[in-house]
Amino acid sequence: MPASRRHHRALAVFVHGLGILAAVPALPTATSPRAEAAPAVVAPAPPAAAPTSPAPSASTSPAPGPTGVLAPAAAPGARKAPAAPGVAATGAVIPVTPAVPAPGMGATAAPGAPRPAPPVTVSVTAAGTPAPGYRIRVHNDATTPIETTVRQELPAGSSTTAVSAGGRATRVPGPNSTGEVTWQLRLPARSTTTLDTALAVTAPGRAVTAPACAFTGDGNRPYDCATATWQGAGVPAAEVEEATPAWRRPSILAATLVVLLMLSAAGAWAWRRARRRRAEPTGAVPTAAGVPPYAGGPDAPGGTGRPRPAAPGATGRRRRPPVWAIVGVAVVVLAAVVSTAVFTATRQVSAIDTAKQPTSGAWVGRSTTGTVGVPLRERAFEFTVYRVDCTNAPGSARRCQATVGVRNVTPEQQTWHGELQRAYLRGGNWVTADADATRLANLGRDVFAQPVAANSRLVLPLVFTMNGAQKPEQLELRSGVFSAGVRVDVP
């Protein structure tokens, strides 16, 4: 046998032996004779269950384990844990129900699922009276009485003239003095309570917005909020709008431009007609003195060649347009250019809103600005600031809690972040929402952790902490990084 074949056969035998050795541990292990001979130890049954429980049959009795101790019967529906290869399973299998949360862990709703409706709801309607008036309805949908605090914000420059029984009106001192009306109510189960307010404003004829919210008994956490705007009596447009100067009215500017163009066309036509009349011949062309009119012919020296003048004729003077025509056309063109430039510039300047902050062209949508109680919509959310309450925090800080309504106006769930919600101070400085204080105000719930469900609405408090005694002048709320957001003026 050649040497190469002997080597191949020896290598094949060696590999085959390694395969047999690798397969030996996977074979089932035989039970030792000592384990089979050891007596089984049965756990004693409870005394109360001994007389009634039937004796287990041989077919249903649990098999003894490798240690000789009978394993207790598994619960119905329980799944036995698989044992590792070559290792015998010991002990009992304890069933665990996944649907039951572990102790200390609360069940959370699915991400994007709408939250349950609050037990107390609020609706506000404006009264059709000559003076601003509102009707507030507070409904308790629970089966037990609820104590609540109802607050209605009063806009700047207004005062109360009539309040429902139990209401207490307060004013905040300052140049833009605002106020609120507070009711402490105990709502019966499945009942609706109606409250009425009437206001007097210093500037009649303007729209007045007065939102209202129902809070918990301590007045910190809102159940629900609503808002309404009272529209004053119709004022003639001539009194509301300032008289526009004549030179800024589009109709007058257009008519002036048309007249100037017509005058320019008439002047150009008259000038061309006069030029043609002057260019037409009026008779025989005069010849210069002492020069024969014709220098050719058979009698002329040089034969009967082509006739040519004996001397050059007098050159005609080039005619030019009159000065008045040139000046008139220039004036018309200049007036048209100036009128167009002035009209365009005034329209662009009047469209500039000096109250808006500079925005980036990369933002989606247009930024809107409003007051407390006015719904403002951006790309994905509709924000409504119902109330802003500022108090002194421990130390030198100042803490402002804003009651904000967030409505998702898109057919998909949307996320928002606390770092994008800002409070602007005087001078342009700003602070973001205080995450810890906001979570504390929401009873430990992170309102930014879960997305807002499609077509759903939330009413929640946002807390801003400022260093010093400054009060925010504006709140900026937005749904995303590239959203233009909304701005709310804080009185």
Give bridge partners of residue 262 from the DSSP assignment.
none
CATH number (domain holding residue 189): 2.60.40.1510
The reply to whether 341 falls in a domain is no
The reply to whether 228 falls in a domain is yes
Domain boundary at 233, 249, 266, which? 233
The stretches of 24-167 forming alpha helices (DSSP H) are 33-37
The reply to whether 248 falls in a domain is no
Burial of 478 by CB count in 10 Å (0-12 exposed, 13-18 middle, 19+ buried)? Answer: buried
Residue 51 has pLDDT above 60, yes or no: no
Kindly report, residue by residue over 67-104, the tens digit of the pLDDT: 443 344 444 444 444 444 443 444 443 343 343 333 33
Mean pLDDT throughout 414-439? Answer: 93
Please give the tally of structural domains in the chain: 2
d(CA 469, CA 188): 41
d(CA 140, CA 119): 6
Domain boundary at 233, 262, 295, which? 233
Burial of 307 by CB count in 10 Å (0-12 exposed, 13-18 middle, 19+ buried)? Answer: exposed
- Dump strand ranges (E) for 39-132: 120-126
The reply to whether 372 falls in a domain is yes
d(CA 486, CA 247): 36
The backbone torsions φ and ψ at residue 167, rounded to the nearest 5 degrees and listed phi first, read -80, 145
CATH number (domain holding residue 443): 2.60.40.1240
Average pLDDT of the chain is 74
Kindly report, residue by residue over 52-62, the tens digit of the pLDDT: 444 444 344 44
Mean pLDDT throughout 429-443? Answer: 94
Domain boundary at 233, 256, 291, which? 233
The reply to whether 180 falls in a domain is yes
Q: Are 442 and 398 in contact (CB under 8 A)?
A: no
**If pLDDT is split at 50, 70 and 90, which confidence band does 228 have?**
very high
Q: Are 83 and 28 in contact (CB under 8 A)?
A: no
Kindly report, residue by residue over 266-297, the tens digit of the pLDDT: 888 887 778 777 776 655 555 555 555 555 55
Tell me the torsion sign for CA atoms 193, 199, 205, 210.
negative
Check residue 351 and give its pLDDT.
62
**Domain extent for 398:** 368-489
Candidate ranges 21-30, 363-372, 430-439; pick with highest mean pLDDT: 430-439
Burial of 378 by CB count in 10 Å (0-12 exposed, 13-18 middle, 19+ buried)? Answer: buried
The backbone torsions φ and ψ at residue 3, rounded to the nearest 5 degrees and listed phi first, read -65, -35
Check residue 312 and give its pLDDT.
58
Check residue 481 and give its pLDDT.
86
Kindly report, residue by residue over 342-361, the tens digit of the pLDDT: 777 777 666 665 555 544 45
The reply to whether 400 falls in a domain is yes
The reply to whether 98 falls in a domain is no
The backbone torsions φ and ψ at residue 112, rounded to the nearest 5 degrees and listed phi first, read 85, -5
Residue 299 has pLDDT above 90, yes or no: no
The reply to whether 83 falls in a domain is no
